[in-house]
Amino acid sequence: MKKISKHTLLKTAIIILSVLLVAATASAVYFVVQDNKSKNQIESLNKKLADEKSSHEADMQSNSEAFESLENEKSSEAQSYEDRLSAESSANQSKVDELNKQIESLNKQLAAKRAASTTKRVDSQSVTPSTPPAQSRGKTVYLTFDDGPSQYTPEILNVLDRYGVKATFFVVNGRYNSVMKDIVNRGNAIGLHSYSHNYASVYSSDAAFYSDLNKISAVVKEQTGVETKIMRFPGGSSNTVSKKYSAGIMSRLAKSVTENGYVYFDWNCANGDAAGANTVEKQLANCKSYPKSASNIIVLMHDSKSTTLEALPKIIEYYKSCGMSFGVLTTATPPVHHGINN
């Protein structure tokens, strides 16, 4: 075998090392290039992400501004609608007030016409005074009206004034409460009847009765300034309807109202306007049927009945023709009491 010289081996080794060096350099260059390429790609991606983020934020800002603008617009529309409703409500209230004034004016005109008509009836249907019967001279008649005030009460007051007569009104709560002041201012007496006049409610218990009584007392005080202590039970003290709601309640109440400082009045004569006497003639006939032995006559009528307004002049004239005087009930007036039935 031919022997290789050291020179040849050295030369070969140099060649191999050179090749390896070139390969290593090429590999290093490759990786550097690849690394730079990757960095460029990353930078490109980061820039793209930054651009998209900026665009998204711009869109969000734009949407927020648009939403805020829309919200402001709707709020403005709501305020405008509320302002219109308020203006319309004020206009409608003004119309209601104007209509109420017109209604009040018409009621006054109607009352004046009815009063004039009543005066004519008084002149044409006057009861010719006669010599008073002995049993009626010196008696006092107390005209009392329940269940008002009503639309007829002002006209009834006019009739009373024309004859110089005063009466007693046992009132309830209703549409014409303001007339209570006129009742008192014109010299008449005012008494308590009921706030609701609902038997089922008023007579359901003692407490319910006093609750109702206190309410109508407060109404009278508010309207007139008067704290009246005269009263009349709904249905009178002899009513039997209360049995349906509370056994024995009238016996208890007749005693307790007196203990509480009230004076209650029933009646010993009635014109019958709540019991079918719907003509002047029937009411006058009933008023003539007073107890001849009684020193005081308490007449039950209702100022909520139109026929009572028509009959009142003849009723007054009849009692005047009998030589009776007229009075108003007070806590000092001797009361008329019925027998208690419950």
Active site residues: 146, 302
**Residues whose CB is less than 8 angstroms from the CB of residue 206 and which lie 6 or more positions away in sequence, other chains included:** 246, 249, 252, 253, 256
DSSP helix/strand/coil, 110: helix
Phi, psi of 108 (to 5 degrees): -65, -40
CB 298 within 8 A of CB 329: yes
Which two structure tokens, joined as six digits, stand for 80?
């405008």
Torsion angle in degrees (nearest 10) through CA of 221, 227, 228, 229: 130
In order of 156, 175, 192, 259, the CA distances from 114 in angstroms are 10, 20, 28, 44
CB 109 within 8 A of CB 139: no
**Residues whose CB is less than 8 angstroms from the CB of residue 141 and which lie 6 or more positions away in sequence, other chains included:** 290, 296, 297, 299, 319, 324, 325, 326, 327
**Residues whose CB is less than 8 angstroms from the CB of residue 325 and which lie 6 or more positions away in sequence, other chains included:** 139, 140, 141
Residue type for 179, please?
V
d(CA 329, CA 38): 116
Residue type for 337, please?
H
The Cα angle at residue 285 between residues 327 and 268, in degrees rounded to 5: 45
